[in-house]
Amino acid sequence: MRVRALLLTGCLALGACNATSDTSVREREAERAQQIEALTGWDRVFGAPEEALKWSRQYGFATRDYQPTGARPAYRAAGKAITLSSTAAEMPNKATFVATGRTADALEQIVFTLKLTDPDNAATAEKRFADLIRQYLAKFDIEDDGALLDAITQETSTGGTIEGAPVTVERSDATEAMPAAITVTFTRPAATSADNSKPQG
């Protein structure tokens, strides 16, 4: 009887601990959801990695979780390449998504890259690539008012800002080893921080 009572007491205590743990997890999740809800624009893109990755997955990138790398950059999340033009081509044009940062709770850069391995369908891929990026930004109510992303379809390199965030569009020509590519990089603004209040360089 005594052993049975001790076992019962232990089970009850363990159950209470598990219940407390579950409650704590739910409370943290609710608190995090409120923090994210309060963020807008680039603050939400860079200050809530889970949001940036969630929307990238909506476009088929199947982006992995934001994890430490043990190197530089300290944290990274990468998606699978998606096809943006004819799948019948021997090597279809494909785009990739990569997010990196220095800490677990914030991103520093988001990079979209289009590799033009099928020149015959390059124009189609470039338009779809530009549209995809604009649609992604729209999820955060960010608009390319200055038409900076037009450089993608104009096959030129440029740089500037979109709503305060530094943006570069770089086109690299094909070489014997590498296909032509277009890389669009968004960098966290200096004034943006994970908690939306502390300036960070």
Environment class of residue 63 by beta-carbon count within 10 Å: exposed (0-12), middle (13-18) or buried (19+)? buried
* Lowest pLDDT segment from 8-12, 85-89, 101-105, 147-151: 8-12
Q: What is the tally of helices (H) and strands (E) in the chain? A: 5, 8
Question: pTM for the whole thing?
Answer: 0.81
DSSP 173: -
List Cα–Cα distances, 144 to 76, 85, 102, in angstroms: 26, 23, 26
Secondary structure in 3-state letters for 59-128: CCCCCCCCEECCCCCCEEEECCCEECCCCCCCCCCEEEEEEEECECCECCEEEEEEEECCHHHHHHHHHH
On whether the CB atoms of residues 50 and 65 are closer than 8 A, the answer is: no
pLDDT class for 31, splitting at 50, 70, 90?
confident
pLDDT digits (tens, 9 = 90+) for 86-138: 999 999 999 999 999 999 999 999 999 999 999 999 999 999 999 999 999 99
CA separation for the pair 144, 149 (Å, rounded)? 7
pLDDT digits (tens, 9 = 90+) for 34-59: 777 779 999 999 999 999 999 999 99
